[in-house]
Amino acid sequence: MAAAVKFEDLGGGRYRVEGRLGFDTVVAALDASQKLFADYHALKLDLSGVTAADSAGVALLIEWVSRARRSRCVLHFLQVPEQVMAIARISDVESMLPVAV
């Protein structure tokens, strides 16, 4: 069983996401992230702690974007790993990810 995805609170609606975003971890990560979208009007998710990802991980990011919109929350992803961006490009969903520079 894969280690759980963790959310390190960096303060002010910024969280560092740590772990593997994959088929075996995304459901638990989605459950763990529910409160984030309820508590903030603006979120920054720093993905520098993501160690690996697959298409399920990219789907999770898109789901977070959807939940943020429904909650009227402004969401930005920071330090998105190249592996995630490559999967997003191949899947033609790169433009759906609000990546901050």
Distances (CA, A) of 65 to 3, 15, 36, 42, 101: 24, 15, 12, 12, 17
Q: Answer whether 52's CB lies under 8 Å from 17's CB.
A: no
Give the mean pLDDT of 14-38: 93
Three-class secondary structure of residue 9 per DSSP: strand
pLDDT tens digit sequence for 33-91? 988 877 889 999 999 999 999 999 999 999 999 999 998 999 999 999 999 999 999 99
Backbone phi, psi, residue 45, to 5°: -105, 110
Rounded Cα distance between 58 and 64, Å, is 10
Domain 6-96 has CATH 3.40.50.300: no
Residue 60's nearest CA partner among 86, 31, 82, 100 is 31
Partners of 17 in the β-ladder: 7
